[in-house]
Amino acid sequence: MPGVPGSLDCVLILAPYRRDAEYMRALLDEHEVKVMQAVGPDELAARLAEAPGMLVVTHEALNRSVLSIIAEHLADQPDWSEMPIIVLLDRTAPHARIRAKLSTAWPRSRQIFYQRPVAAMELLSGLQSALLARLRQREVRDHIEREIELRRELNHRVKNILASVTAIFGMTRRSAASVEQLAEDFSGRLMALSTVHSAVFEAGGETIDLSDIIRRTCSPYRGDGGHRIMAEGPSIQVGRDAGTTLALCLHELATNALKYGSLSRPEGRVHLTWDLQSAIETVLTIKWIESGGPPVSEPSKAGYGTRYIRSALQGLFGSPPEIVFHPEGLRCIAAGPFARFR
């Protein structure tokens, strides 16, 4: 793409007399440095648009239009860029005056002057040192671009989390019978969101082991009966968003079981199992089976927990979960293509 800084490892030679350019080209070719050549001002502008890493200009090439084309190119450089320019001067040229003039005409360039004739080794080492400096600049550029990208991503994630919190609050408020219940349910849900966030972050940021999510989501209830959640399943990596949704669903199931379900009785249990089965596609099945609790009957009106679990698991698995108010205990079973969990 023209105009976009490329790899910056190419040298552009501006030498109106063919022999100078040919000599340098041969020298650089021999040392495997990439070269572009320009003869007149038009060609110079076109080659500069291809974003060479540095420029070599001979004294006799420096006319008014060349000066201004290069100045324009330098002015358009991004912040991180400072183009190295090697200027080859004749012995008889007024060196001090040319240096003064170019340093004003070409700000934000790194100018290196050689007096002709230049020994091949001297020129080559100057070029290589300039290209190395350019490489460092390129690293700075990559770093800046990465930082911009990260800031954008961070903003996006913060917005998503705030949207999630708003949704949790709005829905908790609807189902809360008192301010105390609102406060308790809301902080419990936020804590579950926070716990899974930390878990995903510690796991490296993109995927997390399902058993890790389950262990951490159940751990706040260990003392209260959460240790009677018997979790069993293979090690499975799920994506950040899928993991978050599963954690929030588990939180609802666990708090419900502690308040009204099997975990409200000392002898009550939950069997939480998950498995992958490969047929035409790999299917993930998760089962939450309660037993040993008080007799269960379907509530007349579904609360936050049940409604959220239905909605979230439907979205995550691609089909609605099976939620059964079995007399022996609540059962929640969800199955769907594992591809949806990446």
Enumerate binding residues for another protein (CB under 8 A). Answer: 156, 159-160, 162-164, 166-168, 170-171, 174, 241, 245, 248, 307-308, 311-312, 315-316, 318, 340
340 within 8 A of 242, measured Cβ to Cβ = yes
**Closer residue to another protein, CB minimum distance, 162 or 230:** 162
Q: Which residues contact 342 (CB under 8 A, 6 or more apart)?
A: 207, 238, 239, 242
CB of 257 to another protein, least distance (A): 21
CB of 159 to another protein, least distance (A): 4
Residue 27 gets which letter from DSSP? H
CB of 103 to another protein, least distance (A): 41
**Closer residue to another protein, CB minimum distance, 157 or 227:** 157
**Closer residue to another protein, CB minimum distance, 265 or 342:** 342
CB of 335 to another protein, least distance (A): 16
CB-based burial label for 110 (10 Å; 0-12, 13-18, 19+): middle
**Closer residue to another protein, CB minimum distance, 101 or 159:** 159
CB of 188 to another protein, least distance (A): 15
Q: Which residues contact 306 (CB under 8 A, 6 or more apart)?
A: 252, 256, 299, 323
CB of 172 to another protein, least distance (A): 10
**Closer residue to another protein, CB minimum distance, 81 or 172:** 172
Chain position carrying tokens 């991004």: 78
**Closer residue to another protein, CB minimum distance, 143 or 156:** 156
29 within 8 A of 54, measured Cβ to Cβ = no
**Cis status of the peptide bond prior to 117, with omega within 30 of 0:** yes
Cα angle: 219, vertex 171, 154; to 5 degrees: 70
